[in-house]
Structure 1
């Protein structure tokens, strides 16, 4: 009986640590940006805008395009990557990595984009008419979202 109770406790605890528990609060990608990170947020302030997350900063220097990248993480899981423009002062793009980040229609990576009148698609790239800065790249063999990128450039 004791072994059965221990097994039940382990299963309950394992069920409580689902991936949806990885975020301290829901994060939404929209035409306004990612949560409290907006296009007008100075790049150096990105790491102060979301509490409960860690930020790793990387530099990528190529002759054509020097940039800095903030990786937003929750525990070991990467949630998103934010890239600077070549000046290092402004946000160039936000790449969503985690299926936990959703849009206002509750769609994210791995989800199917529901056909709507305002959904505009060309090949595997789609965006909503009212949110042209949020681009959804679909898997070629289906309608599931493979990547979400925010960019106003």
Structure 2
């Protein structure tokens, strides 16, 4: 192989590495954007607890964030194994942060789901508990 060919290969590899990093960064940005907005999980217009819980349960949806995270991890893994990134620590840290955010959203969704099914039953139990109002006057 000639020196010119090797130089071209290095240049092509550098371009591919840059494109791979850009793909990882683009997928990460799409994933962050797909997460629920903080106001959507904080503010409510509901009139009762069940309405709040149902609204919160709907808001706690990571949407396409997991798919975008998977794309980012796929390209990151490929680039890291090919030793294509000069410095990948920032990407690795952002992937970890995003994974944590998605896991937290999923865990909160599970907890809200439990409450959503528990609260109506608890209300029924409390309505039935205590002295019978018709017996109060006797």
- Do both proteins adopt the same fold according to a TM-score greater than 0.5, normalized to the shorter chain? no
Q: Name the structure, 1 or 2, with higher relative contact order (CA <8 Å, separation 6+).
A: 2
The structure with the larger Rg is: 2
More helix by share: 2
Question: What TM-score comes out, normalization by structure 1 length?
Answer: 0.30
Question: What TM-score comes out, normalization by structure 2 length?
Answer: 0.32
